Structure 1
Amino acid sequence: MPEIDLIKPKWQAPANVVAYTSCRTGGDSLPPFASFNVAQHVGDDAKTVELNRQKLSNHKNFVWLQQVHSNLCLTLPLQASLQNNASLAVDAVCTREPMQVCAVMTADCLPILLCNKQGTQVAAVHAGWRGLADGIIENTVKQMNDAGSELLAWLGPAISQANFEVGSEVYQAFSAYPEAFISSPNSTLDQPKYLADLYAIARRKLTALGISNITGGDFCTYAQDSLFFSHRRATHLGLNTTGRMVSAVYLR
Structure 2
Amino acid sequence: MTPPVPPVPLVSHAATHDWLVPDWPVPAPVRALCTTRSGGVSAPPYDHLNLGHHVGDDPAAVQTNWAVLQRALDHGGAPVRAVYLRQVHGTAVQPLDARTPNGLDADACTTQAAGVACIVMVADCLPVLFTNRAGTQVAAAHAGWRGLSGGVLEATLRSLRAPVQADKALEAIRSESHTSESNRIDEKVSPGDVMAWLGPCIGPAAFEVGPEVREAFCAADPLAAAHFRPHGSAGKFMADLAALARQRLRAQGVTALYGNDSSPGWCTVANASRFFSYRRDNAVLGGSGRMAACIWLAG
Query: TM-score scaled to structure 1, two decimals?
Result: 0.92
Query: Which residue of 1 is the match for residue 206 of structure 2?
Result: 163
Distance (Å, rounded) in 2 between the aligned partners of 1:38 and 1:51: 9
- Partner in structure 2 of residue 226 of structure 1: 273
* CA distance in structure 2 between the aligned counterparts of 1:14 and 1:183, rounded to whole angstroms: 42
What residue in structure 1 maps to residue 120 of structure 2?
104
1:149-180 alpha-carbon deviations (Å, 9 max, x no partner): 10000000001111000001101111121001
Write the mapping of 1:67-146 to structure 2, written as runs, cut at 5 A.
67-77=87-97, 83-84=100-101, 87-145=103-161, 146=189
Q: Return the match for 1:184 from 231, 243, 260.
A: 231
| Superposed displacement of residue 88, structure 1 | 0.7
Distance 2:59 2:18 in 1: 21
Question: 2:89 matched to 1:65?
Answer: no
How far apart are 1:147 and its partner, in Å? Answer: 2.1
CA distance in 1, matches of 2:133, 2:84: 26
Q: Give the length in aligned residue pairs.
A: 242
2:62 alignment partner, SS class: helix
CA distance in structure 1 between the aligned counterparts of 2:200 and 2:21, rounded to whole angstroms: 11
Structure 2 Cα separation of the partners of residues 247 and 87 of structure 1: 16
Higher share in helix: 2
Counterpart of 1:8 in structure 2 is: 21
Contact 1:4–1:36 at 8 Å: present in 2 too? no
Pick from 30, 43, 50 the counterpart of residue 56 of structure 2.
43
The CA deviation string for residues 109-168 of structure 1, in whole angstroms up to 9 with x for no partner, is 000000011111100000000000111001110011142110000000001111000001
Distance 1:151 1:87 in 2: 27
* Paired position in structure 1 for 2:286: 240
Give yes or no for the alignment of 1:196 onto 2:260: no
Q: CA deviation at 1:214?
A: 0.2
Give distance in 1, aligned partners of 2:89 and 2:25: 29
CA spacing shift, 1:50–1:235, aligned 2, 3 Å? closer
Equivalences for residues 11-22 of structure 1 within 5 A: 11-22=24-35
Q: Provide the residue aligned with 2:195 in structure 1.
A: 152
Pair 1:22–1:87, CA change in 2 (3 A): closer
Matches of 2:18 and 2:67, distance apart in 1: 14
Cα offset, 1:102, TM superposition: 0.3
| 1:250 counterpart = 2:270 | no
* Equivalent-residue separation in structure 1 for 2:39 and 2:217 (angstroms): 38
TM-score by length of 2: 0.78
Mapped contact 2:84–2:103 kept (Cα < 8 A): no
Contact 2:229/2:238 (8 A) holds in 1? yes
d(CA) in 2 for partners of 1:88 and 1:36? 23
Percent same amino acid at aligned positions?
A: 42
Letter in 2 for 1:224: N
SS in 2 for 1:126: strand
Q: Displacement of 1:239 after TM fit?
A: 2.5
Check whether the contact 1:111–1:126 (CA below 8 A) recurs between aligned residues: yes
Structure having the higher Rg: 2
Q: How far 1:87 sits from its partner (Å)?
A: 4.1
Q: Which amino acid aligns with 1:150?
A: D
Which of structure 1's runs of 4+ aligned residues deviate more than 3 A?
none
8 Å CA contact retained: 2:19, 2:38: no
Runs of 5+ consecutive residues of structure 2 not aligned to the other structure: 1-12, 75-79, 162-188
Report deviation, 1:15. Answer: 1.9
Matched to 2:135, the amino acid is G
